[in-house]
Amino acid sequence: MHEVFVKSVDWNGKTFDGEPFSDNPPWLKECLQAGRIAIIPDKERDYAIWAVITEEKVIVAEPGDRINMDPMFGLVVEKNSKNKAVWEDYQPKEKKVRKSKK
């Protein structure tokens, strides 16, 4: 398995103040270019968090989490026990539509 750690770097919406991952292997570059790993815009945080598209679901990777490329299983995220963000936290809230009275 090849793993990288998500680092705590400042993200201002356009640039980072350092390297966001502990390493930059070819598989990571490919996943970033293909959109399988993408930054999640979050105005409440000043550090970068990531959406990681696995075979089964989308997982949020935060600083301290590990992202692995497993030859058999694809992308795998190992969450740090302190990190609790989930993909559902970043989904648009459904708007309730009122039915018109006739």
The per-residue pLDDT for range 39-89, each reduced to its tens digit, is: 998 878 878 899 999 988 999 999 999 999 988 878 999 999 999 999 988
- Any domain includes 76: yes
Please report the pLDDT score of residue 99 as a whole number.
59
Q: Phi first, then psi: give them for residue 23, nearest 5 degrees.
A: -150, 170
- Any domain includes 22: yes
- Any domain includes 95: no
- Any domain includes 102: no
Question: What is the tally of structural domains in the chain?
Answer: 1
Range of the domain at 47: 2-89
- Any domain includes 85: yes
- Any domain includes 82: yes
